[in-house]
Structure 1
């Protein structure tokens, strides 16, 4: 602020004229006079002086503890001025006089002290020390003052204190949330912003979000969405986005805030990019629930959201694609999304975007749209879906996350009646085979499951599978032989998938596939060894993974009965004993089927 000594210290103390009328000066003790004189000198070269230690701190403390109002005010003002530029970690000795002045009967002294604390509280160590020294209680008292400057400074300080995780619980339990919520409706924009910022800082854990809800913060945050101030809009959307992380938070918003979606959709069209991004992420979190998924689309959310996918600003595209991903989950939204004409754009962005988050969100959205649609999906292929997906898989720069999303999508595409031929005949088998040896467990597992889903279509299109039998990298036979080798270190789940794939090949009506499997030097032999590992099952059909009336004939709709790893969630693991039992039962099914075949 560029203050001079005369604007901070009592004017009579700054005079150098010995002839001045001393009767007008405050009656200062010698110690106080020496402190004033020292500070006058030090403040003129304050950029090179540390006021938080040594003689400068001692001089400031003398003024802070003085009974003379002007000296206290001078100390508070100096601390406030200095702390604007110097926010280093300080010791208790530096905070003690500031906290003392925070309890002064003079509001302007309190304001200077709280401003200094707020400045120092940008430093993590200072945040924690202020709380440990009991700074919160006097700040709350000052926050309750009718004085606007007192509200601005005290709430601003609490906002900074609340950014430290260690401070959040004490703040939540202190009773501060109720006045903070009230002050978020203040007519003073500075107070509103600070209070909204403090509420936002208290939304980073489920426990504190519940305490905010209990303090009545939700309707206030929703009200802030309708104001014209971008900072308030940003704080409110971010806080609501965090509240929407919890199931209970989303349910509360659904039950009590009927205007929320309308307000958020209006903000999607704002000119402030950070508000746009955060609004889309709030909608994304809300769209974790099916009722919000439908409502957002019904209220016209797509009209505002979809154009942002073509923005040149990556964070905006990420937010928009993340929101679309969740909206695409609901079957009722499939038609409005496709009717919007955005399909070609979505597919093109898979390769045009260099951002892996955008790629993951869009691939997942396309997967959801196909999964939700039982009608003819050839429009996806005609829009170039498989060309772009293949380009992503062939690109060595594609991340494991993106490849994982592609494999999960292929597993959905291959079981779709309209799209499976594009997977089977599009060269994807050759791209999946090397991934069965991936060092990334999710990629390896998903690649194996997707190959088994492709194998379920062997009866309709065995030519592609036959071509891939021994290439690339040894082909399907190499993958199956490796996973069926007698190796105690082999994951029984992966071995079960390989067994299932062999079973599907043998069930097909393809003489070439059946011949390739049964004539392989190790595949059937090792399966027989696996089947023999559990003689106690005695062929009891209740122990068999195969439930058909006979082993002959195609079953093109069958798929391996295990969840594919999805980037949206974790795979549910089976009990180890169940996995092992299923593996042995599958092996026995294969052996039984082989014994019925003529080859």
Structure 2
């Protein structure tokens, strides 16, 4: 059992990374090639001595009927060379010299099947033990062996290719691809031998994982053959065919080819497979294909929404990884309104809720990953306004609060916050507030365990809630003003621009309500610093929020003094002198007018 990493990755628009297990039989060890080479040399001696020296025989050995002609001199020398090397120089990390490569090439290009088998077995041994990268000098004869008409050669050579492809050296894949390995592999997909089919699919699955091979991956002729192998009577062939298709879906170009060759109906049908590994691979492949809007529509049009019904059913699978990958697939597929409606109409919320509750309290190592996947799915479904009432009625909001308070799963926290934001933007803000989501969001943002990757979604949700006057009051009073201080700090110091912008927007909203004296004094400097930074930004969004907030704050004499001491008027003059959008220019002019008005009042009051 070997593993091929498949990257994948974003949801809605990402292909995830996961593992495929590629099963293929292990070839004979070095003893097999040594025995074969000895039999060949024994036969040569017999012929050269007119039979005075009898050859070694065995039921599977070499006899006169198998050999029509004597070995050529260069072939005999190559056999002797490799035999000496394998018997004396073989070690855990074999060093293949130019002389050895020449001998391998002679055997590879021989018309003699036994010599080709010897070369294939040598390559198989090297693929097991070599610690260095594959060179072009080795790859060319190895790829040539794939074109052999001998089934045994095809079996061993394809296994060697897969082993080299699975090695830690990315260069191996690049070298094999540059030798046009995909052309002979495509031909091997038409073989009637299950072992050859297994190995050929495994090779394609392994090679398709490297970005460097995507442009060279010419599978136009092989895709239909791989798809047909999903219906093979041999389960190992099905496994490897599904793995090959899955890895091919990493590439946008190959996804288009697969769809045009009729992959979608086949993959959807294979979701009904009794084999859970095949289900897993096919779900993942559909998930990758679903990153394209056109492909999503085609997928849903198959049958009577078969893909939606089957994915909902698979959320009840006993296999954790099948359920997890199903969540990813639903998340990608539920990126458009019609799919979002259909999933909810066919009853996915109950299944998702069970997955979320089970993974929230599970100690299984895969539980955090499962929880994040399920929440990502729910978040996509919550984008559609028509689904809001169903989600609120299913009582998801208390679960979102619990997940935010957990503190050890940032991906789950991100999606919980995103779901709350989607619900709050719609018609169910009151339900969000009654479920204590505001307190949960604030607790999570204040918690030092919360990773910065979750801050953007948390602050975005709070920014929506902060439009409400009752929420403004709470945000200013929570934890004796610590929440307000946290927002000022994030606006000034966060390394994530979205977090800075969201936090500044909330502070601006709170300024409309009026900042209490104690909070103003402790946070005044931080506010002045981040607004100064925003006004010097080249981003028009930051300029706008900085000017808008400054205009609110200049209504407070204490802030007027603080900004004057910081020479904010010079920054405004520079903004007015520059070329900006009319909205920016108007705000900058309004701020300058406020500053001049305050200055004139001050002068009139001075005796």
Which residue of structure 2 lines up, in the alignment, with residue 195 of structure 1? Answer: 241
Which residue of structure 1 lines up, in the alignment, with residue 549 of structure 2? Answer: 501
- Post-superposition shift, 1:58? 4.0
Partners of 2:219 and 2:372 in 1: how far apart?
Answer: 37
From 221, 224, 229, the equivalent of 1:178 is: 224
Uncovered stretches (5+) of structure 2, i.e. residues with no partner: 1-25, 47-51, 57-61
> Residues 200 and 236 of structure 1 are in contact (CA less than 8 Å); yes or no, is this contact kept in structure 2?
yes
- Post-superposition shift, 1:280? 0.8
Q: 1:172 to 1:586 in 2, by over 3 A?
A: farther
Deviations 1:272-328 (A, max 9, x none): 322222211111112221222222222222222223331432211121121122122
Deviations 1:515-536 (A, max 9, x none): 6567x46569978878888999
From 435, 449, 459, the equivalent of 2:490 is: 435
> Residues 9 and 36 of structure 1 are in contact (CA less than 8 Å); yes or no, is this contact kept in structure 2?
no
- 5 Å matches for 1:336-415? 336-374=390-428, 376-377=430-431, 380-415=432-467
- 5 Å matches for 1:98-497? 98-123=142-167, 124-172=170-218, 174-256=220-302, 258-309=305-356, 310=360, 311-312=362-363, 313-374=367-428, 376-377=430-431, 380-416=432-468, 419-426=471-478, 427=481, 428-440=483-495, 441-456=497-512, 458=513, 462=514, 465-471=516-522, 475=523, 477-478=524-525, 481-482=528-529, 489=536, 493-494=541-542, 496-497=544-545
Which residue of structure 2 lines up, in the alignment, with residue 569 of structure 1? Answer: none
Partners of 2:33 and 2:41 in 1: how far apart?
Answer: 6
- Look up the SS of the partner of 2:311 in the other structure: helix
Partners of 2:171 and 2:369 in 1: how far apart?
Answer: 32
> Residues 484 and 527 of structure 1 are in contact (CA less than 8 Å); yes or no, is this contact kept in structure 2?
no
Which residue of structure 1 lines up, in the alignment, with residue 23 of structure 2? Answer: none
Uncovered stretches (5+) of structure 1, i.e. residues with no partner: 507-512, 537-574
Moved more, 424-433 or 405-414: 424-433
- Look up the SS of the partner of 2:301 in the other structure: helix
- Look up the SS of the partner of 1:407 in the other structure: helix
Q: 1:465 to 1:593 in 2, by over 3 A?
A: farther
Q: 1:37 to 1:435 in 2, by over 3 A?
A: closer
Partners of 1:131 and 1:528 in 2: how far apart?
Answer: 63
Partners of 1:192 and 1:343 in 2: how far apart?
Answer: 42
- Look up the SS of the partner of 1:171 in the other structure: coil
- Post-superposition shift, 1:381? 4.3
Partners of 1:96 and 1:527 in 2: how far apart?
Answer: 70
Which residue of structure 2 lines up, in the alignment, with residue 557 of structure 1? Answer: none
- Post-superposition shift, 1:245? 1.4
What's the RMSD between the two structures over aligned residues? 3.9
- 5 Å matches for 1:78-97? 78-86=122-130, 88-97=132-141
Partners of 1:117 and 1:535 in 2: how far apart?
Answer: 66
- Post-superposition shift, 1:192? 2.2
- Look up the SS of the partner of 1:105 in the other structure: coil
Which residue of structure 2 lines up, in the alignment, with residue 582 of structure 1? Answer: 586
> Residues 331 and 376 of structure 2 are in contact (CA less than 8 Å); yes or no, is this contact kept in structure 1?
yes
Q: 1:532 to 1:284 in 2, by over 3 A?
A: same
Partners of 2:172 and 2:575 in 1: how far apart?
Answer: 66
Report the count of equivalent residues: 544
> Residues 535 and 543 of structure 2 are in contact (CA less than 8 Å); yes or no, is this contact kept in structure 1?
no
Partners of 2:379 and 2:38 in 1: how far apart?
Answer: 66
Moved more, 229-238 or 497-506: 497-506
Q: 1:413 to 1:37 in 2, by over 3 A?
A: same
> Residues 244 and 250 of structure 1 are in contact (CA less than 8 Å); yes or no, is this contact kept in structure 2?
yes
- Post-superposition shift, 1:592? 10
- Look up the SS of the partner of 2:214 in the other structure: helix
> Residues 483 and 490 of structure 1 are in contact (CA less than 8 Å); yes or no, is this contact kept in structure 2?
no
> Residues 418 and 461 of structure 2 are in contact (CA less than 8 Å); yes or no, is this contact kept in structure 1?
yes
- Post-superposition shift, 1:585? 4.1
